[in-house]
Structure formats: structure tokens, C-alpha cells
């Protein structure tokens, strides 16, 4: 059965993007040896991607005309959005738990990749649907921005156990699974 996996880069103070969605602070670490290979390896195990509307719009704005995901993509948004031609994109509104079985079905034997943002990841966490968190911490402090899990309050505490750790040129990738 598909796992729900939040794979993300974070600043040391727990932000995944600057205010307004800026990622320049993170992009300067693109050349760190092994980071690209780690992502490509992870991506091979993905059967479906999920993102929030702001993330979807950021991708479309910064990569016009080139949709990079070759698997079904679900976008959770409160706004009216449209899908690009040729992109396998479903735009939905509602509680993430309502769509969990459909997301698993689309992923097949592979995982559901929660791309972002932090609020959407927080919704999956609060719903008890987050199976793994793979976070790469980079040596930067932003002082504000988009938090790792948004402001979502948990209904009950969740414990995770560390199942993997990789250090690369100042970055640390931590792989956690639900305990």
C-alpha cells in the first residue's frame, strides 16, 4: 500500500520557503553532491504527487510550459485554478482525508509524494495520514517564511522514529517513519 511521504528541504529554523514563496536560499544548495541523486532515487518510488495551490502556481510561474511530474498530480486549493495542457492534474477542494483512498489508488504500489506547502503537509499530519517525513536541513536561517508544517494544530501527538540519516556538505537529510 502507498505511503504518504513529505519530502522537503528546510532551513535550520524550520521554514521551507521565504515569505512569498521564494526559494533562492535553497537553490544555492542545488550543487551539493548527492542531493540530486537522493531526490531522483526518491522520485522513482513516487506514483502520485500532491501539492497546495500556492505550490502549484509557483511551479507554473517559475517553469512555464514544462510540467515536470510524469505521474498524476492532485492540487488542493481554495481558489479557482486550471490545469496545463498535457498535465495529469486534478484540482480539488476539501479535507485531505476525503481523498486519501483515491490518492493511494493513483499511486498504485508506489508512494504519494506531498510536495508542499507546509500547510498541506500539516493537514496530512493532523489527519494521521503522514507515514514518512524526509527533510533535508540546509545551513541557513530565514527568520520567517513558510513553516515546515504550517500553523496546523495536531489533534493528537505523533511520534516518528529516525530510519535514515545522510550528511552531505553541510546539509543533513533525515528520514523519519511513523513510530
pLDDT at 158: 83
Distance CA 73, CA 69 (A): 7
Using 70 as the pLDDT threshold, list the residues of the chain that sit under it: 85, 151-155
The whole-angstrom distance between residue 100's C-alpha and the CA centroid of its chain comes to 16
Pairing of strands 171-178, 73-76: unpaired
pLDDT at 152: 65
Q: How far is CA 4 from CA 25, 51, 71, in A?
A: 27, 12, 15
Residues with Cβ within 8 Å of residue 88, at least 6 apart in sequence:
69, 71, 72, 73
pLDDT at 67: 84
Q: Nearest 5°: CA angle at 150, between 15 and 171?
A: 25
Q: Which residues of 90-117 are buried (b: 16+ CB within 10 A; e: fewer)?
A: bbeeeebeebbeebbebbeebbbbbbbb
pLDDT at 154: 65
Distance CA 38, CA 25 (A): 19
Amino acid at each position: 500500500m502507498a505511503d504518504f511521504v513529505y519530502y522537503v528541504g528546510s532551513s535550520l529554523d524550520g521554514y521551507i520557503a521565504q515569505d512569498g514563496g521564494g526559494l533562492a536560499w535553497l537553490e544555492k544548495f542545488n550543487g551539493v553532491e548527492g542531493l540530486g541523486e537522493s531526490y531522483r532515487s526518491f522520485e522513482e518510488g513516487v506514483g502520485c504527487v500532491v501539492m497546495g495551490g500556492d505550490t502549484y502556481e509557483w511551479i507554473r510561474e517559475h517553469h512555464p510550459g514544462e510540467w515536470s511530474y510524469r505521474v498524476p498530480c492532485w492540487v488542493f486549493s481554495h481558489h479557482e485554478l486550471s490545469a496545463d495542457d498535457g498535465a495529469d492534474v486534478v484540482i480539488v477542494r476539501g479535507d485531505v482525508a476525503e481523498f486519501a483512498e483515491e490518492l493511494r489508488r493513483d499511486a498504485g504500489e508506489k508512494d504519494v509524494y506531498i510536495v508542499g506547502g507546509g500547510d498541506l503537509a500539516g493537514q496530512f499530519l493532523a489527519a494521521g495520514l503522514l507515514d514518512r517525513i524526509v527533510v533535508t536541513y540546509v545551513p541557513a536561517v530565514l527568520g520567517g517564511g513558510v513553516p515546515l508544517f504550517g500553523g496546523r494544530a495536531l489533534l493528537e501527538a505523533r511520534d516518528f522514529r529516525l530510519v535514515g540519516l545522510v550528511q552531505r556538505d553541510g546539509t543533513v537529510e533525515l528520514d523519519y517513519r511513523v513510530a
